[in-house]
Amino acid sequence: MFDALSERLDRLSTSLRSKGRLNDADLDEALADVRSALLEADVELGVVRAFLDAVRERLSGEVLSQSLSPGQQVIKAVHEQLIEVLGATPLKVTYASKPPTVVLLAGLQGAGKTTTAAKLANWFKQQGRQPYLIAADLQRPAAVEQLRVLGAQVGVDVFSEPSSPVDVARKGISEASRLGRDVVIIDTAGRLAIDQALMDEVRAISDATSPHYTFLVIDAVTGQDAVHTARSFHDVLELSGLIVTKLDYDARGGAVLSARGVVGRPVVFASSGEKMADFDLFYPDRMASRILGMGDVLSLIEQAERTMDADVVAESAGRMMSGTFTLDDFLAQLNQVRRMGSLGGIMKLMPGVTKEMRSAANNIDDGEVARVEAIVRSMTPQERRDPAIIDGSRRTRIARGSATSVAAVNQLLKQFTEMRKMMRQMGNGSMPSMPGGLGRMASMAARGAKNTDALPAGFEALGAGMANAAASRGGKNKKKKGGRVTPPKQR
């Protein structure tokens, strides 16, 4: 989708550039494409309109930037507006002065409330709290049982009894106080659709327990109906925020924007998988890129996670950040990245990759990677640790050993040195020479370095993958003819 959207906007560029300024007609054309993209992402029509009005206001009459194409400038404005809207009024989770802090979860059936309840309990536990779960969904067969199983998985007790949802909630809270638990999470019944009985029940629970936080659990694959759901719950419950689930699906998740748009409350948590740990605070920038289909960093992370050997990556990532990255690490990472699929495919998933880089990525020859590997493998362990000792005679030996040329060895060493420099900068959290998306990733990677568990392993290796992809691009003229052209990966 990013391909389609950005290419359409690129075409627009040529006609706009000569004018130096965006006028209304140009904007109409650009925004029509953005509109399609948002609708394809399931953003509700009314929300799309309001959003485009805001973007138009932001852009109209603006002087065209020298460094960006007009199409890019539109994307940038749209992206910024998305982040602003998704990330405004962040919710700071604080705790009640008189515990327990009561959290109520509401939502439609199938949105993932029960799983979310357990994940949220796990999250609070990680924050050093002592959570307690209350299963007040007495509707769905086996819902209580499901929460008990999940609660056991995360080591949190679950309270329930076969009475009424309101009684369960009330007794659960006093039980939590008795046990000295400081956070209580109440799972409520969902219905297939909004109806009076559901609203009455959840309102009764809310009235009886006066929750400090009420979260609506909303499913990222929801379509246009998201606004209706969000509004109905908000009218009855006064939501404090949203929790978006099923971000591991390939849906673009426009429902988040729809719900955010009508409720005006922040998205607080994002849940992305079947494991209890797949739950985190919500990052607006990731969501914005995703809605626009601009390089699905999330799926890249997942892909990396599934295929990468976390230990190998973590070990070399640590050295990478401290600037003591060696050719051995480089080789290990190269192999990790190769396991993720073709480099061309990976490049397509990255945000901030320009059209030129993308087409170059399609021409990357995976055989070239094998050649790099051969060169590194022809070095002694000492040389790999300290490439500075590789003099002329060593170079000749390595070239012979790897059946390449001295020039190829030189090129690799040069690229490696540059990459190491870049990694060091990445460790410092600044990466001036990289395009926007990569800069963002770099700072995320830097965050990950400080906070080891916050970011999945593999981020760092992507930097290596990028550097390598760029390196391969340098040599593509020589190799292209005989080389295999990597087909773009199916998304």
Partner 1 sequence: MPEVLVSETAPMPVLEDTSLETRLASSRGVFDRVRSLSGVGDVSTEQLNIVEEVLLRSDVGVAMTNSVLDELKTNGAPDGIAAALRTILINSFGGDRSVRTSADADRVAVWLFVGVNGVGKTTTIGKLAKQNHDQGRSVLLAAGDTFRAAAADQLEQWATRSGAEIVRATEGADPGSVVHDAIGRAKARGIDIVLADTAGRRANSSNLLDELAKVRRVADREPGEVVETLLVLDATTGQNALSQAREFLAAANVTGIVLTKLDGTARGGIVVAIERDLGIPVKFVGVGEGVDDLIVFEPHAFVDSLLGA
With CB under 8 A as the contact rule, the residue among 250, 403, 418, 478 that binds partner 1 is 250
- Residue 269's SS3 state is strand
28, 145, 161, 386: residue in contact with partner 1 (rule CB under 8 A): 145
Smaller CB separation from partner 1, 273 or 435: 273
Which listed range, 10-18, 122-130, 250-258, 391-399, lies at the site for partner 1 (CB under 8 A)? 250-258
CB atoms inside a 10 Å sphere around CB 381: 10
Does the footprint of partner 1 cover residue 146 (CB under 8 A)?
A: yes
Any alpha helices (H) in 45-183, and if so which ranges? 45-59, 70-87, 113-126, 143-154, 165-179
Q: Which amino acid is at 357?
A: M
Site for partner 1 in 74-133 (CB under 8 A): 84-85, 88-92, 94-97, 101, 108-112
**Residue linked to tokens 């960093």:** 297
* CB of residue 82 to partner 1, shortest distance in Å: 10
Instruction: Give min distance, CB of 226 to partner 1, in A.
Output: 8
Buried (b) or exposed (e) across 220-231, using 16+ Cβ within 10 A?
A: bbbebebbbbbe
Kindly tell me which residue out of 229, 316, 342, 378 binds partner 1, with binding defined by CB under 8 A: 229
Determine which residue in the list 8, 140, 170, 171 makes contact with partner 1, applying CB under 8 A: 140
CB nearer to partner 1: give 114 or 402: 114
CA angle, residues 262, 246, 194, in degrees to nearest 5: 45
Residue from the set 79, 119, 252, 286 that interacts with partner 1 by CB under 8 A? 252
Site for partner 1 contains 150 (CB under 8 A): yes
Name which of 189 and 343 has its Cβ closer to partner 1: 189
Q: How far is it, in rounded angstroms, from Cα 329 to Cα 462?
A: 13
CB-based contacts of 141-149 (< 8 A; 24+ apart in sequence): 143/114, 143/187, 143/189, 146/114, 147/114, 147/117, 147/118, 147/187
Residues paired with 103 in a beta bridge: 185, 213
Of 218 and 457, nearer to partner 1 (C-beta) is 218
Tokens at residue 237, please?
Answer: 């419950």
Residue selected from 204, 221, 312, 314 as contacting partner 1 according to rule CB under 8 A: 221
Q: Which stretch binds partner 1 (CB under 8 A): 42-50, 130-138, 327-335, 449-457?
A: 42-50
- Comparing CB distances to partner 1, the nearer of 260 and 348 is 260
Q: Least distance (Å) from partner 1 to the CB of residue 108? A: 7
Spell out, one character per residue from 170 to 199, where the chain touches partner 1: x when CB under 8 A holds, - when not: ---------------------xxxx-----
3-class secondary structure per residue, 413-450: HHHHHHHHHHHHHHHCCCCCCCCHHHHHHHHHHHHHHH
Contact set for partner 1, span 352-381 (CB under 8 A): none
Among 29, 157, 175, 248, binds partner 1 (CB under 8 A): 248
Closest to partner 1 by CB, 55 or 360: 55
d(CA 327, CA 383): 8
Give CA–CA dist 234/181, Å, rounded: 28
Of the candidates 460, 36, 441, 10, which has an alpha carbon nearest to the alpha carbon of residue 252?
36
Site string for partner 1, 52-71 (x = CB under 8 A): -xx--x--------------
201 contributes a contact to partner 1 by CB under 8 A: no
Q: Kindly write out the interface string for residues 271-300 of this chain, putting x where it contacts partner 1 by CB under 8 A and - elsewhere.
A: ---x------------------------x-
Q: How far apart are CA 20 and CA 90, in angstroms?
A: 37
Q: Is position 339 an interface residue for partner 1 (rule: CB under 8 A)?
A: no
User: Shortest approach of partner 1 to residue 150 CB, angstroms?
Assistant: 5
Q: Which of 17, 65, 142, 155 binds partner 1 (CB under 8 A)?
A: 142
CB closer to partner 1, 212 vs 473: 212
C-beta of residue 347 within 8 angstroms of C-beta of residue 469 = yes
Which CB sits closer to partner 1, 49 or 400? 49
Calpha distance 353→171 (Å, rounded): 55
Please tell me whether residue 255 binds partner 1 under the rule CB under 8 A: yes
How many residues belong to the chain? 491
Task: Give bridge partners of residue 217 from the DSSP assignment.
Answer: 243
111 or 205, CB closer to partner 1? 111
Size of the site for partner 1 (CB under 8 A): 73
Please identify, using beta-carbon distances, which residue of 39 and 310 lies nearer to partner 1: 39
- Is 262 a binding residue for partner 1 by CB under 8 A? The answer is yes
- The answer to whether 233 contacts partner 1 (rule: CB under 8 A) is no
Q: Binding residue for partner 1 (CB under 8 A) from 5, 12, 27, 47?
A: 47
Secondary structure element (H or E) that encloses residue 27, with its range = helix 24-40
Question: Where do we find the tokens 């990733």?
Answer: 441
C-beta of 190 vs 427, nearer to partner 1? 190
Non-local (6+) Cβ contacts of 151 within 8 A are 118, 121, 133, 157, 158
Helical axes 2-17 vs 70-87, angle rounded to 10°:
130
Residue number, 291 or 369, with CB nearest to partner 1: 291
